[in-house]
Amino acid sequence: MTDNAIAGSRVSRRGLLKGLSAVSAAAAAPWVVPAAALGKDGYVAPSEKIVLGAIGIGPRGRHDLDCLIAEKDLRFVAICDTQAARRQAVKNMADQRYGNTDCVMYRDFRELLARADVDALLIATGDRWHAHASCYAVRAGKDVYSEKPCAITMDLCRVLAENVRRYGRVFQAGTQRRSVNNFRAAVQLARSGKLGKLHTLYASIYRPRITYDWLPEQPLPPRDEVDWDMWLGPCPWRPYNQTYVRGGWRVHNDFDSGATLLDWGAHTLDLCQWANDADGTTPVEYEPGEGAITCRYANGVKVVLDCLPQPFGDRSPHYHTSLGTCPVRFVGDEGWIETGDSGDIIVYPESLRGELKALKTSGLSAAQHTRNFLDCVRDRTQPVANADVARSSHIACHAAALAWLLNRKLTLDPKTETFVNDDEANRMRSRAAREPWTL
């Protein structure tokens, strides 16, 4: 290097001092860290947030997601749906809420399951996918909030609960009435003994309906618009019709759970299970009759599944007043209580009204139920509607539906979850799954 080159590379003393002063000033200046990054002022630090994805979000799933995304300790990052319009609608909602474009869209849920950063999943597909998607999710190390019915057959109820236990995940069934205050109060009063010995429980259900026909074939849309093969999933193949993907799959046997009985029964029979302290078991007898299916527990308590007509304009004589949708009634030797989605509670004798004085109805929002799920994700405890709770109440609903379908009394062994001396009913406990969707 020449002397001139060396001279040209030198820094003047004044320039050096000026540069050192700037560095010193920068070092002395305070670092400004947003409160949100530190988890202060009501914010939750990003590292402490539960990262959520969702599979299959229609109207019901959107309500669940709205409840979840409102929580400060949750970050929603991805939506998977077989329909492009639904994917885009959820992404638009999430991006608008967070003020970015980060929400990722997937058509194949397996790509979402492969994400190591996702802690939990909301699964709100149609009935046909709930158990399968939940099992694949827990095997991938995800906690799950699944809409009900959580399984389309009795056998899948067992498989789902066993998978949740084996992989040590948190699972919450979307039977949110376990977290709604008026239902909780009615159950607690029944369990307190203040109604006397319980003898009859009433659970409202839809009047069962089923069809085995296929809708006419229509031109198959592009796969990116509607992935029909993925939409069908484990169900038998049938020609595409847009009615199915727009919600018209209900009452079609291949897609529906228990002739629609589980639509309400997954809630109302579940509440009767709880009131009767029967979580972990089921009724042992199921007998169809005119306008009702009567179930009996081993302890003698009777459950009347009250088949309300649609569109539910006629009030059942089993209830003392119109209580809205999903009414339940618990009757003991010394009194009774009933409630429904209206939030009202009727109790007899009136002296028991004082037991309910602190009650504040919480409405039909799933917010308390989704909050319970998130709390359990954090502390690794069991939610109020965990997989074992859902297993028992769903199996009871499926058994009642099979009694209605076969039009005869069925006897179920709660320990083996099989029917006694009825091969036909036992064959109907499960369905074959289309490849590759076997569990």
DSSP 8-state symbol, 287: E
How far apart (Å, rounded) are the C-alpha atoms in residues 372 and 66?
A: 15
Q: pLDDT value at position 18? A: 54
How many other C-beta atoms lie within 10 A of the C-beta of residue 301? 22
pLDDT at 255 over 60: yes
Res. 81 pLDDT band, cuts 50 70 90: very high
Q: Which amino acid is at 208?
A: P
Q: pLDDT value at position 191? A: 96
Q: What is the pLDDT of residues 103-131, one digit of tens each?
A: 999 999 999 999 999 999 999 999 999 99
How far, CA to CA in Å, does 126 sit from each of 137, 257, 342?
16, 10, 26
**Cβ contact 425:410 at 8 Å:** yes
Lowest mean pLDDT among 44-58, 342-356, 385-399: 342-356
pLDDT at 198 over 70: yes
Token digits for 94?
A: 């999430």
H/E run at residue 202: strand 198-206
How far apart (Å, rounded) are the C-alpha atoms in residues 126 and 109?
A: 14
Res. 2 pLDDT band, cuts 50 70 90: very low
Token digits for 311?
A: 């569109």
Q: pLDDT value at position 361? A: 57
Res. 30 pLDDT band, cuts 50 70 90: low
pLDDT at 24 over 80: no
How many other C-beta atoms lie within 10 A of the C-beta of residue 187? 23
How far apart (Å, rounded) are the C-alpha atoms in residues 157 and 394?
A: 7
**Cβ contact 147:64 at 8 Å:** yes
Token digits for 2?
A: 């020449």
Q: pLDDT value at position 181? A: 92
H/E run at residue 5: helix 3-9
SS3 40: coil
First to last CA, the chain: 74
How far apart (Å, rounded) are the C-alpha atoms in residues 177 and 184?
A: 8
Q: What is the pLDDT of residues 293-338, one digit of tens each?
A: 999 999 999 999 999 776 554 567 777 777 888 999 999 999 999 9
How far apart (Å, rounded) are the C-alpha atoms in residues 70 and 76?
A: 10
- For the domain covering 177-210+256-427, report its CATH number: 3.30.360.10
Lowest mean pLDDT among 1-5, 238-242, 303-307, 314-318: 1-5
Percent of the chain with pLDDT over 70: 87
Boundaries of every domain in the chain: 37-175, 177-210+256-427
Which residue from 393, 370, 389, 386 is spatially nearest to 176, judged by alpha carbons?
A: 370
Res. 173 pLDDT band, cuts 50 70 90: very high
Token digits for 107?
A: 């058509």
Q: Which CATH architecture does the domain made up of 37-175 adopt?
A: 3-Layer(aba) Sandwich (3.40)
Q: pLDDT value at position 10? A: 43
Q: pLDDT value at position 310? A: 60
219-248: average pLDDT: 97
Res. 188 pLDDT band, cuts 50 70 90: very high
How far, CA to CA in Å, does 434 sit from each of 35, 220, 230, 252, 424?
51, 20, 11, 17, 22
For residue 12, give every residue at least 6 positions away whose Cβ sits within 8 Å of its Cβ, in sequence order, or none. none
Token digits for 408?
A: 């005869």
371 alpha-carbon distance from chain centroid: 12
pLDDT at 359 over 70: no
Q: pLDDT value at position 174? A: 97
